[in-house]
Structure 1
Amino acid sequence: MSWKQTMVETARGTFEVFEKGQGSPLAVTHLYSEFNETGDYFAEAFVESQTVYLINLKECGRTDKASSPHELTMLESVLDLEAIRKALGFECWSFAGHSTGGMLAVVYGIYFSESLETLVIANAAAREYMTFSEDCIYNEAHPEFDHMQSLIEQLKNQDLSEERRRELTVERTKLSLWKPQHYEHYFNRPILKKMSAVRMNFFARELHTFDVTRKLGLITVKTLVISGKHDVQCPPSYSEEIVESVPGAIHLRFHQSNHYPHLEEEQKFNQVIRAHFD
């Protein structure tokens, strides 16, 4: 079953949204992914228990372009999410984010806990995670740093053939799997998405000054934090930092996962999600 596409008119612009599932409303997005009717692996984990709204932020898919660079900040993106929630007619909804989507979840919880039923923050951080962690693949001391940077730069090329883009994407993703030889088993669905170079480039700049750790105590909504023990993108110490400061937050570490516990330990992940929303 493919995702149902709709265009949502808000006071802050028009947004492309994909809907699937049943149950109470839950929003999912990522800071620079472009989604389409094929969906998203992380979002798929929630469709059995929630009605999931998979959102293309500005500069992604058919959503409006940004008229000014500041519209691409995390805070402005959260304001966009609030506008979408109101346009859809929900008094409250939940939000789940993986990786940079998880960073957005942190910001959402800090400023709009009253709009949220619950937060799921997966493989994320509340501050810049590269400079001080040699376990992070984006740290120059990491052995795969140069390899990862090369792949990212190549993927920014909008003129890549679909075949070459897939090859590079697979190679990049394997760097963030505990068992890269199982890639084909994990990514076995016809899900295709792209990366917004505009948003990716902006995030790469914003990240250098990102630090909301001192505001984590403002998150008052029920919060589940998920991390992979072997995560090379957002090392698990950053998830621990979130849990220590968010009142009542629960931390579940996946011991046989890198950056994708929803695929690397799919059965356990799905059980955790069902239990959280019961």
Structure 2
Amino acid sequence: MVSEDDFPDFPLLWSRWAAIAAAFVAVGSEWGPRVLPSFGWFEGSRRSGSSLYELPGGRAVLSGGVWNAPELDVAYNGKTPLPRLYAGAPEWVANPVLNTRAGGGLLSFCYWWERGRWYRGESPSAADVAVAVPGIWTAATVADVIYDLLTEHPSEELRSAVTSFVDAAQRRDVTHAQLYEVFGDAADLDAVHYQLALAGVARRGPEPIPQSESLEIVRHHLATEGIDPAAFPPDQLRADRLTVGWLVYVPVEPEEVVLDRALFYVADDGVVEAATSSTPPSVYLSGFEQRFRQRHS
């Protein structure tokens, strides 16, 4: 049957799983989730755990066990039949993609993802198996898990950095710079980044360029294109950070009206796109991001 409102959609669940795994690696913990290509696992401190497999064709399987699952207890004591965890499951929900508890008769839940929906047989609801999965329920839940790992009293700066990190993980665009802001240089950031790279949530392509470099790139572009310095003074340039680059422009006075003023979008790979204010940045940005990702996909 369709599993309504149990787990987040698989792409979000996978990204959040990876973000928590990276945090546990950062603090050097042996507990917590981990990821490999197309595979995640979690073993909690209370003997409950789960596995998450990503399969071709937009499919996935999440299965595991709660150590004191009441439905298994009553079944093994002869009071009721074992729950039909695979009722209605497609043929690809099979032993190779099930948690190892399946081999010992200790599997207490199994969900599968296909056609953009979660499904389950006679598995308990997500609330009843929460102890066996990481805290992937919402972005805020993930952030709370990371705060608790790092400190008892997170500062506002850390909260902001963690929120940005989780958001980037959900977009599959985490950078080294974000990892440094969250975990600092005490952690093995290469190992942390590798966990995210294996999950496919680290940025593909160059790291963010500094603001000063974006300004120099535009100054060079202006000189190369022979643009009149009086119309676009290079020494008055300002740059605002975007998701994958910078928006460079000459600011105008509050009372000044300028139609179709020049704007330059500088991507983190150094590519410059010239535009005008007739297309608002909020509209232009989606195409700018898409072209950047296509260059580095």
TM-score class, shorter = under 0.3
State the TM-score, normalized to the length of structure 1: 0.26
State TM-score, norm by structure 2. Answer: 0.25
| Higher RCO structure (Cα 8 Å, ≥6 apart) | 1
Bigger-Rg structure (1/2): 2
